[in-house]
Amino acid sequence: GAGVSQTPSNKVTEKGKYVELRCDPISGHTALYWYRQSLGQGPEFLIYFQGTGAADDSGLPNDRFFAVRPEGSVSTLKIQRTERGDSAVYLCASSLSGSGEQYFGPGTRLTVT
Partner 1 sequence: ELKVEQNPLFLSMQEGKNYTIYCNYSTTSDRLYWYRQDPGKSLESLFVLLSNGAVKQEGRLMASLDTKARLSTLHITAAVHDLSATYFCAVDREYRDDKIIFGKGTRLHILP
CA 4 to chain centre: 11
Least separation in angstroms between residue 60's CB and partner 1 is: 12
Least separation in angstroms between residue 45's CB and partner 1 is: 4
**Nearest 10 degrees: CA dihedral of 28, 47, 6, 41?**
-130
- Of residues 82 and 108, the one with the C-beta less far from partner 1: 108
For residue 74, which of 28, 29, 23 has the smallest C-alpha distance?
Answer: 23
Burial of 47 (0-12, 13-18, 19+ CB in 10 A): buried
- Of residues 19 and 89, the one with the C-beta less far from partner 1: 89
Residues of this chain that interact with partner 1 (CB under 8 A) are 31, 33, 40-45, 48, 55-56, 59, 91, 95, 97-98, 100-107
Least separation in angstroms between residue 81's CB and partner 1 is: 25
- Of residues 42 and 70, the one with the C-beta less far from partner 1: 42
